Chains A and B, each alone.
Chain A
Amino acid sequence: GQNIDQPTEMTATEGAIVQINCTYQTSGFNGLFWYQQHAGEAPTFLSYNVLDGLEEKGRFSSFLSRSKGYSYLLLKELQMKDSASYLCARGANDYKLSFGAGTTVTVRA
């Protein structure tokens, strides 16, 4: 299988930092993607990692360790609009994506 594991829910306060972890099976790996999805909407691309290390993009950063089959998405300076589901997706051949179930992040004032 292509098990992608991530926590179901996380809650944080406005202005705080939240880290969403994701583990995946390493065989046939072809990149790790993170998406944001608001209820009833399409996934919106956030980041792509194919090499080890941290990729920073504004308030959002993504980290990858290929040997450990591990990634995380770091959300900084949380805003209310960041309340959404965050999807970890593993790329395989032809960049076919296998998605995790998503982590629902709730930002509280």
Chain B
Amino acid sequence: EPEVTQTPSHQVTQMGQEVILRCVPISNHLYFYWYRQILGQKVEFLVSFYNNEISEKSEIFDDQFSVERPDGSNFTLKIRSTKLEDSAMYFCARKTGDGNTIYFGEGSWLTVV
């Protein structure tokens, strides 16, 4: 099965600006996730989204972050007032119906300067 599609592939933003990362599922799935990976570090869970609601969020996912599925298809991660330490690769992921596979998108590389 194809993975999800993410945009943009790379974004450079000024510190303090807002960023929106988008995830477009190939088909209609209920479970979505956002993960991030700071350069040279491990992949970290941010938030899970089930049936158009946040299911669980990590300590990283504070008030600076939000997720939504505004039009029933695109799944977005918004980062308000970006900080230098937000520079990372952000991955959208989806779960297959049987739960046996979780596919990752190609990622959005965010650089905060």
Residues of A within 8 A of B (CB): 31, 33, 35, 41-45, 48, 50, 87, 89, 93-102
Contact = CB atoms under 8 A, between A and B. Distances in A.
Given A43-B43, A101-B41, 14 more contacts: A31-B99, A33-B102, A35-B104, A41-B106, A42-B104, A42-B106, A45-B103, A94-B50, A95-B48, A95-B99, A96-B33, A97-B35, A97-B102, A99-B44
Contacts, number: 54
A98 B35 CA distance: 10
Contacts of B50: 94
Nearest to A35: B104
B32 to A, nearest CB: 11
Given A42-B106, A42-B107, A43-B91, A101 B55 contact: no
Contacts of A98: 45
Q: Interface majority SS on A: helix, strand, loop or mixed?
A: mixed
Contact of A94 (B42, B56, B107): B56
Interface residues of B, number: 24
Contacts of B55: 94
Q: Interface majority SS on B: helix, strand, loop or mixed?
A: strand
B102 A95 contact: yes
A50 B95 CA distance: 15
Interface string B93-110: 001000111111111000
B86 interface: no
Contacts of A93: 56
A101 B37 CA distance: 11
B43 A99 contact: yes
Interface in B38-70: 41-45, 48, 50, 55-56
Contacts of B45: 96-98
Given A94-B31, A94-B55, A96-B33, A45 B43 contact: no
Nearest to A44: B104
A71 B82 CA distance: 38
Contacts of A35: 104
Contacts of A97: 33, 35, 43, 45, 102
